[in-house]
């Protein structure tokens, strides 16, 4: 019978030194270089999905098609706070910055722990953190193909001209302020935010959602 290996000796008395978080903040005033298109998953869609799942098999064969309310769809596709002010999801900017790390060889897993976008308001329905957007939206209609293969028309808000102030908190032990600025520039010019952005997971994008940083 083989002799069991002895457990490794436990080192004691070794001091562990962990530095406190070194977090800094910087504000970026960004201006859209292309239209920004938003498509929020509406409260109505969430409710209908939940009701269908709760109904189970009894829901089969009882599907009805209601007439579309275009104005209601347009309003439901927009992120707004409790006062009705529109905003851009703060995670959209953060995700764009993390995605841009692929271009410069920085580990995305570390970036997730190193850059954060602060919000100034919350979505009235689902509490999504929002960054206020400056600009006037308009109704945009686009031909799309659903996952079922059926052709349809998507109703979404579009801001042809827009700007926003994005507040970024970052780990200064991982990034310098210039690093964060360059990362935000790449996020705006190469990744984008919202529907039809260059970094869209489902397509090559429409070239929407790109932005530039206003110097100073």
Span 74-123, pLDDT tens digits:
999 999 999 999 999 999 999 999 999 999 999 999 999 999 999 999 99
Q: What pLDDT, on the 0 to 100 scale, is given for residue 4?
A: 58
pLDDT tens, 16-57? 888 899 999 999 999 999 999 999 974 444 444 444 544 555
- Mean of pLDDT values over 119-144: 93
pLDDT band at 64 (very low <50, low <70, confident <90, very high): low
Coil vs helix vs strand at 109: helix
* Nearest CA-CA partner of 127 in 186, 181, 168, 87: 87
Count other C-beta atoms under 10 Å from residue 138's C-beta: 11
Higher-confidence position of 169 and 64: 169
Q: Where are the domains of the chain?
A: 23-47+69-213
CA nearest to 122, candidates 89, 94, 154: 89
DSSP run (H or E) holding 90: helix 90-104
**DSSP-H helix ranges across the chain:** 43-55, 70-76, 90-104, 108-111, 177-186
**pLDDT higher than 60, residue 126:** yes
Name the residue with higher pLDDT: 200 or 164: 164
pLDDT of the residue at 151: 80
């Amino acid at each position: 019978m083989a002799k069991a290996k002895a457990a490794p000796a436990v080192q004691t008395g070794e001091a562990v030194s962990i530095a406190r978080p070194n977090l800094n903040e910087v504000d970026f005033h960004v201006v859209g270089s292309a239209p920004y298109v938003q498509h929020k998953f509406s409260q109505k869609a969430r409710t209908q999905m939940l009701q269908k799942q709760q109904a189970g098999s009894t829901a089969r064969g009882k599907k009805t098609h209601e007439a579309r309310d275009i104005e209601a769809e347009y309003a439901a596709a927009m992120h707004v706070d409790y006062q009705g002010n529109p905003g851009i999801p703060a995670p959209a900017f953060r995700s764009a910055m993390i995605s841009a790390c692929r271009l410069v060889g920085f580990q995305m897993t570390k970036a997730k722990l190193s850059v954060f976008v602060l919000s100034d308001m919350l979505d009235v329905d689902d509490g999504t953190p929002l960054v206020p957007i400056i600009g006037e939206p308009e109704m945009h209609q686009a031909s799309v193909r659903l996952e079922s293969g059926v052709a349809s028309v998507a109703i979404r808000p579009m801001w042809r001209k827009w700007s926003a102030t994005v507040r970024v908190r970052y780990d200064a032990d991982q990034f310098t302020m210039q690093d964060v600025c360059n990362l935000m520039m790449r996020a705006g010019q190469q990744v984008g935010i919202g529907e039809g952005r260059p970094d869209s997971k489902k397509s090559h994008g429409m070239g929407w959602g790109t932005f530039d940083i206003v110097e100073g």
